[in-house]
């Protein structure tokens, strides 16, 4: 049996994205913030569903800039015009965020524009009413509503995707989210959950070894619960687990566990060569792709069906090269 991988060129996965990142001229000044990473690298593998909430709620192009305004001790941050404080679009942006979250049922992730008072995921600058910086950050109003309505949806800012660890983590979550909805939720059953967990085990181990056991218990005891309860409990726990960033230590541990399944079939010379690469990875001499490539070779030649199907070996499209810089 061949190693299972997510289809790469078919662009089965759809991502929501801030329209300005696609080069659409929707910003307040009539410009854009085209992302070369999204358009030059990701567009070969993902469909995009672009959204500009500011235009969608009726703000023109060009338009008066808006910003977050709040005061210490006040819970709600408002989104108001920079020059016209009476222009308050907070409620419209929040309402639209909830509407799009429910409407975009086919997306498996969302890439937002950083620092935007509507689309920023976090740490968007907040101002006092007099215009001076508050010294605190908050999410944009649209992004906040989107994330609160779809809390398990993988969301990331374009700027943060330039960090190799954050980028790899995001697309691991995106592909797991997509796989869950295409393989489990199209025809939910206890068996579908068990089968899904079976191939995700080492991905889970790499992200949070402690959750490896707890998710296993959820599945093992699943038949005692109503199916909808099992589905919700497992998927919530899975997506929370995958938010943990895999480390060199956890990757090393996971690769050694997989090698253990082939200890009787991989000869000592091959084993020593692999162990050397794992140690070089652990010491930050080589990137993760180096030992992973050799591990996949051994799995293909010596592994059993259980190991060959593990998504850890290829959790996202390999052509993206996400493990080349880890």
Tell me, what's the pLDDT at 11? 81
Tell me, what's the pLDDT at 76? 81
Tell me, what's the pLDDT at 144? 97
Tell me, what's the pLDDT at 166? 97
Question: pTM above the 0.85 mark?
Answer: yes
Tell me, what's the pLDDT at 8? 43
Tens digit of pLDDT for each residue in 266-305?
A: 999 999 999 999 999 999 999 999 999 999 999 999 999 9
The torsion region of residue 30 among left (phi > 0), alpha (psi -120 to 50) and beta comes to: left
Tell me, what's the pLDDT at 7? 41
**CA–CA distance, 291 with 275 (Å, rounded to integer):** 8
Q: What is the 3-state secondary structure (H, E, C) of 265-303?
A: CCCHHHHHHHHHHHHHHHCCCCCCHHHHHHHHHHHHHHC
pLDDT at 246 over 80: yes
**CA–CA distance, 198 with 42 (Å, rounded to integer):** 28
Starting from the edge strand earliest in sequence, which strands make up the sheet with 133-138, in order? 78-81, 66-69, 124-127, 133-138
**CA–CA distance, 224 with 300 (Å, rounded to integer):** 37
Q: Is the peptide bond before 62 cis (omega within 30 degrees of 0)?
A: yes
**CA–CA distance, 182 with 311 (Å, rounded to integer):** 15
Which tokens sit at 104? 């975009």
Which tokens sit at 249? 């230590």
- Please give the C-alpha separations between residue 235 and each of 94, 157, 176, 179, 311, in angstroms, as whole numbers: 26, 23, 10, 11, 16
Tell me, what's the pLDDT at 73? 62
> Which residue would you say has higher pLDDT here, 6 or 133?
133
Tell me the pLDDT band of 306, cut-offs 50, 70 and 90: very high
Q: At what angle do helices 289-302 and 268-282 cross, to 10 degrees?
A: 150
Nearest to 216, CA basis, from 232, 188, 241, 194 = 194
Tens digit of pLDDT for each residue in 162-186?
A: 999 999 999 999 999 999 999 999 9
Tell me, what's the pLDDT at 136? 78
- Kindly state the average pLDDT of the residues 206-226: 95
Tell me the pLDDT band of 41, cut-offs 50, 70 and 90: very high
Tell me, what's the pLDDT at 9? 43
Tell me, what's the pLDDT at 238? 98
With pLDDT > 70 as the criterion, what percentage of the chain qualifies? Answer: 96
Element spanning 209, H or E: helix 209-220
pLDDT at 226 over 60: yes
Residue 197: alpha-carbon gap to chain centroid: 18
- Kindly state the average pLDDT of the residues 192-216: 96
Residues sharing a CB contact under 8 Å with residue 40, sequence separation 6 or more, in sequence order: none
With pLDDT > 90 as the criterion, what percentage of the chain qualifies? Answer: 90
């Amino acid at each position: 049996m061949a190693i299972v991988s997510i289809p790469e060129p078919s662009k089965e996965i759809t991502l929501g994205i801030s329209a300005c990142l696609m080069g659409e001229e929707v910003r307040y000044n009539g410009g854009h913030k085209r992302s070369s990473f999204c358009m030059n690298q990701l567009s070969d593998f993902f469909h995009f569903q672009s959204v500009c909430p500011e235009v969608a709620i009726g703000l023109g192009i060009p338009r008066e800039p808006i910003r977050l305004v709040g005061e210490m001790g006040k819970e709600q941050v408002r989104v108001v015009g920079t020059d016209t404080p009476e222009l308050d679009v907070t409620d419209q942006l929040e309402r639209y965020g909830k509407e799009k979250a429910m409407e975009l049922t086919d997306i498996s992730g969302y890439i937002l524009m950083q620092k935007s008072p509507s689309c920023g995921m976090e740490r968007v600058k907040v101002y006092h009413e007099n215009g001076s910086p508050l010294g605190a950050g908050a999410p944009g109003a649209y992004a906040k509503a989107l994330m609160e309505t779809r809390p398990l949806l993988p969301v990331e800012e374009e700027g943060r995707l330039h960090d190799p660890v954050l980028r790899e983590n995001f697309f691991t979550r995106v592909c797991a989210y997509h796989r869950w909805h295409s393989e489990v939720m199209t025809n939910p059953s206890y068996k579908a959950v068990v089968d899904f967990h079976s191939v995700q085990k080492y991905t889970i181990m790499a992200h949070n070894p402690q959750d490896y056991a707890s998710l296993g218990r959820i599945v093992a005891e699943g038949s005692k619960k109503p199916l909808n309860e099992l589905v919700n409990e497992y998927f919530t726990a899975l997506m929370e687990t995958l938010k943990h960033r895999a480390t060199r230590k956890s990757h090393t541990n996971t690769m050694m566990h997989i090698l253990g399944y082939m200890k009787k079939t991989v000869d000592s010379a091959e084993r020593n060569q692999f162990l050397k690469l794992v140690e070089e990875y652990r010491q930050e001499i080589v990137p993760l792709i180096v030992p992973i490539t050799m591990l996949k070779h051994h799995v293909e030649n010596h592994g059993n069906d259980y190991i060959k199907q593990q998504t850890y070996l290829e959790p996202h499209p390999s052509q993206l090269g996400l493990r080349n810089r880890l």
